[in-house]
Amino acid sequence: MKTSKQKRTGVSGKAQKSESSSSIVPRSSLPLVAVLMGSKSDWETMRAASETLERFQVAHECRVMSAHRSPELASEFAAKAESRGVEVIIAAAGGAAHLAGVMAAHTVLPVLGVPMKSEALNGLDSLLSTVQMPAGIPVGTLAIGKPGATNAALFAIAILANSRPDLKEKLHKFRAEQEKKIRETKLD
C-alpha cells in the first residue's frame, strides 16, 4: 500500500528508462532513495528522513510495507528497486524490525535500517533486531527514532554524493552551516 506521501523531487543526473514504459525519462523524476516503514504510525518519525531528502532535493519515495504482514510486497519491492533506479533503501520498523533485513536479503543496494521506538522496550528490541544481521547480509543501522531517520537520510545523501558533485557540494555546505551554528553559540 502506498502512503499518501510519495516524493519525487529533483536531482540532476542521467536519463534512464521508466519501469512503466520504454520511453526515456529524466533521472530526476525517478526516486533515488526509497523510504520504507513497517506501518503508517512510523510516518511521524520517518517524515524526518523525507524532509531531509527534500532539503537536499533528492528524489525519493515513501511507502508502507511490512516484512510480516505483506512479505511478498516487501520482497518484490526490494528485488525490483535497483531496476527502477533506486540507489539506497531506508527501512524503518519496530519490534521484531525485520523490514531492513528483508530488503537486504533481496537486493545488493545499500540498506539503512532505522529502529522505531517501541512501548515494550523503548526501541531497544527494534535496535537489536536491526543491528544483529547475520554475516553476509549487511544493514547499516542508525539510531532509534527521529535522529536515526534524519541520519539515515544524510547517510543516503553521502552515498549518492560520491557520484554527484552538486550533491556533494550541498553536503559540504550543510556541514559548514552546522559548524558555524556551534561556533556562534553563546552561553548566558
Q: Strand 60-64 and strand 33-37: pairing?
A: parallel
Tell me the percentage of the chain whose pLDDT exceeds 90.
79
**Does 1 fall in a domain?**
no
How far are the Cα atoms of 47, 77, 126, 139 from residue 119, in angstroms, in the given order? 20, 29, 11, 24
163 burial type by CB count under 10 A (0-12 exposed, 13-18 middle, 19+ buried): exposed
| Closest listed residue to residue 103, CA positions, set 152, 164, 56 | 152
- pLDDT-based confidence at 26, cuts 50/70/90? very low
At 80-92, the pLDDT tens digits run 999 999 999 999 9
**Does 11 fall in a domain?**
no
**Does 2 fall in a domain?**
no
**Does 124 fall in a domain?**
yes
Q: Is 70 helix (H, G, I), strand (E, B) or coil?
A: coil
**Does 3 fall in a domain?**
no
Written as nine digits, the cell of 48 is 524526518
At 35-72, the pLDDT tens digits run 999 999 999 999 999 999 999 999 999 999 999 999 99
**Does 5 fall in a domain?**
no
Looking at the structure of the chain, the number of domains it has is 1
Q: What is the CATH number of the domain that holds 56?
A: 3.40.50.1970
Q: Which domain holds residue 160?
A: 16-183
- What residue has cell string 554524493? 161
Q: What is the pTM of this model?
A: 0.84
* Residue 23 clears pLDDT 50, i.e. is over it: no
At 110-146, the pLDDT tens digits run 999 999 998 889 999 999 999 999 999 999 999 999 9
